[in-house]
């Protein structure tokens, strides 16, 4: 090889890279950073020419600037398919990396020899590149890192420094802003290189270094102007991503010194997806095979030996690079006890939020691999020289060994393990191409809502990486709920709220249409071919509530029924029904305009909502959006703006939405924490949509400021709010706080910070007792704000009552000290009780309007008379248990008001039999009740009341377990006889014996079949009669004892058909029929501790008992004084509730303005509007205060948010309106600077070539 030429080595690297990428699924596309980058690169590049992106979602700043799309667009332009173009690009990236390492050693050694070739091979093919090649846009910074050192080392001492500085600027441009932290690390290595150049090599002075860096910085500012502008102007979306993504401690959970030293430690490569498949199949070789583990240490150890024994001057450069990079890769490992350097990193992340973008320290790996590769390459040469003395045959041994090591450490490149098979596919199914073509060919600009939404889309035919719609839908923006939103914060929140209602199955009639209208959606796509388990979304059958919504009309379907809809191995009933569904359904939104969100409308007093996007479905359910009234958020308004809105006729709606939560991405969908207290944060700040004090719903506790825990549930899978810390203090034994899933729970804690110091002498502890004899908490320690902790050993199988000398404390911490056995299940507490201390969780509604009224008399006056609605919603969530079982709410009034009550109740399997009995018995005044400890399958028809209704065809049914009990209550009377009957039909487990508890007595009762009954001819029911001495009692308990073994084994319910409790021959205790319409019950709702009666309409009770959600109304208005109030409902009965004061005025009749779109472009819209009444003009896109409106030459300034869109008010008349995204002009200038910089830099680089002069080659530096 010549000293000057790189191409022979490039050919070698190219051949190997092509073999590597094309032996791994050569004809199949692999899910990379962006589907659009390979399937629609030209469209992506066009989108990057503007700052405001209105082609996706509801529009927002498009912060991405990825020059790597240019070569892909070129490959596609040459007619290559997307999969082939992708594999070629991956090969190019590997070649650029390896060739850069070769060029770097050529600069330092003065020639290309075995050392450079070995180093290049090792840098291109190693464990780091095998596990970090995807996404390739992040890998690019690794590829250019050695080239940056090449231009730096060459340029500082070159007679043509501007030429090398231009090369640096072009490399910086190529990185764009796809991975700013990766670019930072690639540039960071110039620092140790500068120190080495001046202090060790002594071939340059600090003045030369500074001068060259200044030149490179000037040219880079030009070439990177567009990328920098997009990064700075798009800082809000970028900051939003940082908030949602992983913490530094999480990233460094696997980055030990040993793992990082061998080029691994990237946390995502150690985990499996939802299906259990490894994220990277090649990773298993490095983690699970002895060869993979051992061979990955060979190169680092060899590099350390060369660093120690070699006299090569540049060894200090590469040793320094490797050590600095290694320390950064390790980061804060171990998370629970980081090194001093790791601790400093964590402090820096906290002190400077922007530094959190560097949390993925694995991206610093280029320095380590450059150091190891160079030292190993030079080590091969040194070993060759040493072995030459033994004879010619030994000369080739080091080189052969080095190649063997390279092949062994990069085995996934050659054995088909580079790409995860589950993420690959050959082509997009024809039915999707047809559906997307149909959607985009429609006239108008209406948006397309895609359901269900997910962040990482996994179809049954493959995983495209992100999704298809950006590529195929150019004229009609797609709206998808996504962890990385394509809309502004308020619009994205509204989309997420709709998705949440659908995911939890709580979307009600009339809730869909108003939201779709506001979003400008005229088509809804239901995709049934998602792998719903891997994508972590609702399965196709669960979307029936969307299909059946009256706002939608099925327009077309695509694909054959059942095509890619279900897992072929799924034999369940529900899967069988899903196989009748087509993979894609397109629904038309009835009466929706085809031009998207209206650009102008008559000005109407808006609905002022205190809450967020989750309030829209509640308002729609309450009929508040029927007239098309626009919506504004109180969190966006000042006190004066609130007063003006209310005085103009705007109703005020206060909701329990806009919860203070922390949202974080885990897997394919975001996970959200439980509702936090005001000012409470977890391991990072909670998100805040408005930033206005009091605009969030927060958790409150009567006697505590906060209840917190070390963690809840299983941390690795994200937040599980149904297992939150407050569950341990809610007085409900069906809820629990759990922690420590898949980890050691020892040391985990539950903490209460009291509102006022409390004097404690007793605590009751009931641990979570798993039904499968799994592990449980057996020992804890109680920690107080001062004094010594108290060690407690818990009793087996029940509540431990802990008593101790009275002590006054500001807090109580319960720390887990021991568990019953090893395992992976979560442990915790069902209930913790502190006598005299109320720790029940209450959700306090936003009080931003009340706070604003405190200093504004006009607003206070308006609030005394304005129509107001309080909307309460019980959150079900998507967990194994409902997030909330009851409504406990606190709200505040500025002035006394009278409210009517309305709501919706839902009796289902989550309703305990005690609560069901209490609710039904509340409609009667006979004082008779009956409830079981549980019901078989939770079914309502198995309720305890059926055992005392006098109907032999009904029964209380329970799981066939001894100890299940039925409790019958009645007005105090004499009891002397108890008769019990148990059906013995084919669907029941006959009960052979029960225990009767009455008046303090406990008596066994044997149940027998009637004499002479032949079980072969008919069912022989069991019955028995217990005579007891006359006893005055108000309660009898029947406890199941002996059960038929065969029935119990089959799992058939045990039933008590009739329980007759009487005094000798007197009438038995029997529940009267529950009254129908008009009867009131006061068991479901209280306000300030006072029962509030509610009634059902005719037939609704029967519907409720059949499992339907039904409406109810208050029996009487509720008068509330000014000040704070507390509302509570019964367990899992009331789903939604409305308190209404004042009638809603109908919107003022007004003529709708005429709108003509004169001009439309990226970040610009020119309209001609004409209206007889005042009007509101809108961009039709997400609210962003960067938009400006100029009307007839007058600047109206920044917009306000109406329906989450940027809007302005206009007087009646004809107007020419220019709507412009102001930062767009800045970006256009930056884009022009980038183009000019590229032209200049290319000219500087090519100038010697065009003049026919070959630049001098670096002088030899012996090793």
Name which of 451, 455, 471 is nearest 463 in CA terms: 455
697 found inside a domain: no
- Structural domain including 237 reads 7-419
**CATH code of 1164's domain:** 2.60.40
Q: Are residues 125 and 274 in the same domain?
A: yes
Arithmetic mean of pLDDT, 194-205: 96
pLDDT at 1262 over 60: no
What pLDDT band is residue 230 in, cutting at 50, 70 and 90? very high
pLDDT at 4 over 60: no
781 found inside a domain: yes
What pLDDT band is residue 1076 in, cutting at 50, 70 and 90? low
pLDDT on residue 1060? 95
pLDDT at 274 over 80: no
User: What's the half-sphere exposure (Cβ side, CA atoms, 13 Å) at 1260?
Assistant: 6
pLDDT digits (tens, 9 = 90+) for 826-844: 999 999 999 999 999 999 9
pLDDT at 240 over 80: no
951 found inside a domain: yes
Q: Are residues 455 and 533 in the same domain?
A: yes
pLDDT on residue 1259? 45
Name which of 889, 915, 876, 918 is nearest 1139 in CA terms: 889
343 found inside a domain: yes
Average pLDDT, the chain: 91
pLDDT on residue 449? 97
pLDDT on residue 350? 76
pLDDT at 1257 over 50: no
Arithmetic mean of pLDDT, 69-95: 96
pLDDT at 978 over 70: yes
The SS3 of residue 451 is strand
Query: What whole-number distance in Å separates Cα of residue 699 and Cα of residue 687?
Result: 15
pLDDT at 522 over 50: yes
2 found inside a domain: no
Beta bridge pairs of residue 1197: 1189
Arithmetic mean of pLDDT, 1176-1203: 95
Tell me which of 1099 and 336 has the higher pLDDT: 1099
Q: Are residues 351 and 447 in the same domain?
A: no
**CATH code of 949's domain:** 2.60.120.260
What pLDDT band is residue 393 in, cutting at 50, 70 and 90? confident
pLDDT at 238 over 80: no
Query: What whole-number distance in Å separates Cα of residue 245 and Cα of residue 478?
Result: 24
28 found inside a domain: yes
pLDDT digits (tens, 9 = 90+) for 13-46: 999 999 999 988 788 999 888 899 999 999 999 9
pLDDT on residue 2? 39
pLDDT at 358 over 50: yes
Arithmetic mean of pLDDT, 1240-1256: 78
pLDDT digits (tens, 9 = 90+) for 120-131: 999 999 999 998
Q: Are residues 810 and 955 in the same domain?
A: no
558 found inside a domain: yes
570 is written with which tokens?
């799924």
pLDDT at 587 over 50: yes
330 found inside a domain: yes
The SS3 of residue 260 is helix
pLDDT at 338 over 90: no
Of 1112, 1141, 1170, the residue at which a domain comes to its end is: 1141
Burial call 242-262: b when 16+ CB within 10 Å, e when fewer = ebbbbbbbbbbbbbeeebbbb
Q: Are residues 570 and 527 in the same domain?
A: yes
pLDDT digits (tens, 9 = 90+) for 1119-1159: 999 999 999 998 768 999 999 999 988 877 788 899 999 99
Tell me the percentage of the chain whose pLDDT exceeds 90.
71
pLDDT on residue 239? 66
pLDDT at 567 over 70: yes
Q: What is the dihedral of CA 462, 465, 471, 476, to 10 degrees?
A: 100
Query: What whole-number distance in Å separates Cα of residue 34 and Cα of residue 54?
Result: 18
The CA-atom distances, in angstroms, between 525 and each of 252, 453, 552 are 40, 11, 11
pLDDT on residue 243? 63
pLDDT on residue 245? 65
Q: Are residues 243 and 154 in the same domain?
A: yes
What pLDDT band is residue 1077 in, cutting at 50, 70 and 90? low
Tell me which of 560 and 1073 has the higher pLDDT: 560
Arithmetic mean of pLDDT, 299-322: 94
Please tell me which of 246-250, 255-259, 878-882 the model is most confident about, judged by mean pLDDT: 255-259
Into how many domains does the chain fold? Answer: 6
Residue 549's Cβ-count burial label (10 Å; 0-12, 13-18, 19+) is buried
Q: Are residues 278 and 312 in the same domain?
A: yes
Residue 453's Cβ-count burial label (10 Å; 0-12, 13-18, 19+) is buried
What pLDDT band is residue 985 in, cutting at 50, 70 and 90? confident
pLDDT digits (tens, 9 = 90+) for 906-962: 988 878 899 999 998 888 888 899 999 999 999 999 999 999 999 988 999 999 988
Query: What whole-number distance in Å separates Cα of residue 1005 and Cα of residue 1056?
Result: 13
pLDDT on residue 1065? 75
Arithmetic mean of pLDDT, 225-250: 77
pLDDT digits (tens, 9 = 90+) for 1166-1180: 999 999 999 999 999
Q: Are residues 176 and 271 in the same domain?
A: yes
Tell me which of 170 and 924 has the higher pLDDT: 170
Q: Are residues 185 and 310 in the same domain?
A: yes
Q: Are residues 173 and 289 in the same domain?
A: yes
pLDDT at 152 over 70: yes
pLDDT on residue 1015? 74
Q: Are residues 107 and 241 in the same domain?
A: yes
Answer left, alpha or beta for residue 57, where phi above 0 means left and psi between -120 and 50 means alpha. Answer: left
Of 1141, 1164, 1179, the residue at which a domain comes to its end is: 1141
Of 395, 419, 443, the residue at which a domain comes to its end is: 419
pLDDT digits (tens, 9 = 90+) for 989-998: 889 999 999 9
Provide the H-helix boundaries in 204-297: 206-223, 225-233, 235-244, 248-251, 257-261, 283-288, 290-295
pLDDT on residue 26? 82
Residue with tokens 């590769």: 373
Query: What whole-number distance in Å separates Cα of residue 1141 and Cα of residue 505?
Result: 30
Q: Are residues 405 and 264 in the same domain?
A: yes
| Neighbouring C-beta atoms of residue 665, cutoff 10 Å | 18
């Amino acid at each position: 090889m010549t000293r000057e030429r790189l191409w022979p080595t490039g050919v070698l690297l190219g051949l190997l890279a092509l073999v590597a990428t094309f032996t791994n699924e050569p004809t199949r596309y692999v899910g990379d950073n962006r589907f659009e980058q390979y399937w629609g690169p030209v469209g992506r590049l066009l989108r990057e020419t503007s700052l405001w992106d209105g082609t996706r979602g509801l529009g927002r700043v498009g912060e991405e600037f990825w020059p790597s799309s240019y070569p892909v667009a070129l490959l596609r332009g040459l007619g290559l398919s997307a999969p082939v173009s992708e594999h070629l690009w991956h090969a190019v990236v590997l070649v650029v990396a390896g060739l850069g390492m070769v060029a770097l050693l050529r600069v330092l050694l003065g020639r290309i020899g075995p050392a450079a070739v070995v180093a290049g091979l090792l840098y291109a093919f190693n464990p780091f590149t095998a596990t970090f090649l995807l996404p390739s846009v992040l890998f690019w910074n690794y590829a250019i890192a050695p080239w940056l050192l090449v231009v730096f080392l060459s340029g500082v001492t070159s007679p043509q420094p501007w030429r090398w500085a231009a090369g640096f600027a072009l490399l910086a441009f190529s990185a764009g802003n796809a991975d700013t932290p990766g670019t930072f690390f690639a540039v960071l290595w110039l620092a140790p290189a500068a120190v080495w150049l001046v202090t060790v090599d002594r071939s340059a002075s600090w003045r030369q270094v500074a001068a060259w860096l200044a030149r490179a910085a000037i040219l880079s500012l030009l070439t990177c102007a567009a990328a920098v502008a997009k990064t700075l102007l798009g800082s809000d979306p970028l900051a939003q991503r940082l908030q949602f993504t992983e913490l530094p401690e999480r990233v460094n959970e696997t980055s030990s010194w040993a793992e990082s030293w061998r080029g691994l430690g990237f946390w995502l490569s150690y985990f499996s997806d939802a299906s259990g498949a490894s994220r990277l199949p090649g990773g298993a070789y490095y983690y699970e095979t002895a060869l993979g583990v051992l061979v990955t240490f060979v190169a680092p150890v060899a590099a350390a030996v060369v660093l120690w024994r070699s006299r090569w001057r540049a060894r200090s450069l590469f040793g320094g690079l490797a050590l600095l990079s290694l320390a950064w890769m390790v980061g804060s490992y171990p998370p629970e006890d980081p090194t001093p350097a790791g601790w400093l990193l964590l402090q820096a992340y906290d002190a400077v939020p922007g530094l959190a973008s560097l949390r993925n320290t694995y991206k610093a790996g280029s320095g380590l691999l450059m150091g190891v590769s160079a030292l190993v390459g030079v080590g091969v040469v040194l070993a060759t020289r040493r072995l030459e003395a033994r004879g010619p045959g030994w000369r080739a041994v080091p080189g052969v060994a080095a190649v063997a090591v390279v092949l062994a450490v990069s085995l996934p490149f050659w054995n088909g393990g580079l790409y995860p098979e589950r993420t690959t596919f050959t082509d997009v199914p024809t039915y999707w191409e047809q559906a997307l073509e149909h959607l985009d060919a429609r006239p108008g600009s209406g948006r397309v809502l895609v359901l269900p939404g997910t962040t990482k889309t996994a179809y049954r035919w493959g995983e495209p990486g992100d999704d298809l719609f950006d590529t195929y839908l150019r004229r009609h923006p797609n709206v998808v709920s996504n962890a990385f939103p394509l809309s502004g914060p308020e619009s994205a929140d509204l989309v997420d709220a709709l998705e949440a209602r659908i995911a939890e199955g709580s979307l009600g009639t009339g809730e869909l249409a108003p939201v779709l209208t506001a979003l400008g959606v005229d088509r809804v796509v239901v995709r049934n071919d998602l792998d719903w388990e891997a994508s972590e979304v609702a399965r196709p059958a669960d979307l029936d509530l969307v299909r059946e919504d009256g706002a939608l009309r099925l327009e077309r379907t695509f694909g054959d029924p059942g095509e890619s809809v279900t897992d072929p191995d799924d034999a369940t009933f529900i899967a069988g029904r899903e196989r009748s569904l087509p993979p894609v359904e397109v629904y038309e939104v009835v009466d929706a305009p085809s031009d998207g969100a209206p650009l102008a409308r008559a000005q109407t007093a808006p609905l002022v909502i205190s809450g967020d996007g989750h309030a829209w479905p509640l308002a729609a359910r309450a009929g508040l959006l029927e007239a098309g009234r626009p919506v504004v958020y109180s969190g966006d308004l000042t006190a004066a703006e609130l007063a003006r809105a209310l005085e103009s006729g705007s109703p005020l709606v206060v909701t329990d939405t806009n919860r203070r939560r922390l949202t974080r991405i885990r897997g394919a969908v975001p996970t959200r924490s439980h509702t936090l207290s005001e000012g409470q944060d977890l391991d990072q700040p909670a998100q805040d949509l408005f930033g206005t004090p009091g605009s969030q719903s927060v958790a409150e506790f009567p006697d505590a400021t906060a209840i917190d825990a070390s963690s809840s549930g299983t941390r690795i899978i994200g937040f599980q709010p149904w297992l939150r810390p407050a569950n341990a203090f809610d007085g409900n034994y069906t809820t629990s706080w759990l922690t420590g899933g898949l980890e050691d729970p020892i040391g985990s804690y539950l903490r209460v910070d009291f509102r006022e110091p409390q004097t404690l002498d007793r605590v009751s502890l009931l641990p979570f007792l798993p039904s499968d004899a799994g592990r449980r908490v057996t020992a804890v320690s109680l920690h107080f704000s001062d004094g010594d902790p108290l060690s407690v050993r818990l009793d087996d199988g029940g509540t431990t009552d802990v008593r101790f000398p009275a002590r006054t404390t500001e807090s109580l911490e319960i720390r887990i000290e021991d568990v019953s056995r090893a395992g992976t299940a979560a442990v915790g507490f069902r209930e913790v009780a502190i006598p005299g201390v109320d720790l029940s969780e209450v959700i306090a509604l936003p009080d931003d309007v009340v706070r604003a009224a405190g200093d504004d008399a006009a607003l206070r006056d308006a609030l005394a008379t304005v129509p107001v609605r309080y909307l309460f919603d019980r959150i079900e969530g998507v967990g194994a248990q409902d997030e909330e079982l009851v409504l406990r709410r606190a709200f505040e009034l500025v002035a006394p008001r009278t409210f009517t009550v309305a709501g919706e109740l839902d009796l289902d399997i989550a309703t305990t039999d005690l609560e069901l009995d209490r609710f039904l018995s509340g409609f009667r005044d006979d004082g008779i009740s009956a409830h079981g400890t549980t019901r078989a399958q939770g079914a309502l028809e198995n309720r305890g009341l059926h055992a005392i209704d006098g109907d032999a065809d009904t029964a209380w049914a329970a799981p066939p377990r001894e100890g299940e009990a039925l409790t019958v209550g009645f007005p105090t009377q004499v009891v002397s006889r108890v008769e019990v009957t148990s059906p013995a039909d084919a669907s029941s487990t006959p009960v052979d014996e029960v225990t009767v508890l009455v008046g303090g007595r406990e008596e066994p009762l044997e149940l027998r079949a009637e004499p002479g009954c032949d079980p072969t001819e008919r069912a022989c029911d069991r019955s028995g009669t217990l005579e007891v001495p006359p006893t005055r009692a108000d309660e009898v308990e029947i406890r199941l004892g002996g059960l038929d073994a065969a029935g119990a084994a089959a799992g058939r319910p045990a039933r008590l058909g009739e329980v007759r409790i009487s005094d000798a021959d007197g009438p038995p205790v029997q529940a009267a029929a529950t009254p129908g319409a008009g009867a009131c019950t006061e068991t479901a709702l209280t306000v300030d501790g006072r029962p509030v009666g509610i009634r059902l309409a005719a037939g609704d009770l029967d519907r409720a008992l059949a499992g339907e959600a039904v409406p109810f109304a208050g029996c009487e208005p509720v008068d509330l004084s000014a000040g704070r109030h507390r509302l509570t409902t019964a367990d899992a009965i009331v789903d939604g509730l409305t308190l209404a004061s004042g009638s809603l005025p109908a919107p003022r009749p007004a003529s709708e303005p005429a709108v003509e779109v004169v001009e439309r472009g990226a970040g610009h819209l020119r309209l001609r509007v004409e209206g007889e009444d005042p009007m509101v003009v809108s961009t039709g896109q997400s609210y962003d205060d960067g938009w400006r409106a100029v009307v007839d030459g007058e600047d109206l300034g920044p917009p306000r948010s109406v329906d989450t869109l940027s809007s302005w008010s206009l007087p009646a008349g004809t107007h020419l309106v220019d709507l412009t995204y102001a930062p767009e002009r800045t970006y256009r200038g930056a884009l022009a600077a980038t183009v000019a910089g590229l032209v200049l830099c290319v000219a500087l680089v090519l100038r010697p070539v065009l003049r026919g002069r070959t630049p001098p080659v670096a002088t030899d530096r012996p090793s």
